[in-house]
Amino acid sequence: MARSRNIKPGFFSNEHLAELDFATRLLFIGLWTEADREGRMEDRPRRLKMALFPADSVDIVHMLDDLDHLGFIKRYTVGDVQAIQIINWAKHQNPHMKEAKSIIPAMPVVEPSQGKHEESTVLAPDSHSSFPADSLSLDSGFLIPDSLNPSPAPVDAGELFARFWKLYPRKVGKDKAEKAWAKLKLTEALFDTIIKALAKHSLTPGWTKDNGQFIPHASTWLNGKRWEDEVSVPSNVHHLPSSRHTGFDQRDYKAGLTAVGDGTYEF
- DSSP secondary structure of 45-85: HHHHHHHH-TTS---HHHHHHHHHHTTSEEEEEETTEEEEE
Q: Which domain holds residue 168?
A: 157-228
Clarify whether residues 108 and 29 are in a common domain.
yes
Q: How confident is the model at residue 213 (pLDDT cuts 50, 70, 90)?
A: confident
Clarify whether residues 201 and 165 are in a common domain.
yes
**pLDDT (mean) for 105-123:** 54
Clarify whether residues 109 and 169 are in a common domain.
no
Residue 27 lies in a domain: yes
**Residue 140 pLDDT exceeds 60:** no
Task: Please provide the size of the chain in residues.
Answer: 267
CB atoms under 10 Å from CB of 47, counted, come to 13
Reported pTM: 0.43
Clarify whether residues 119 and 204 are in a common domain.
no
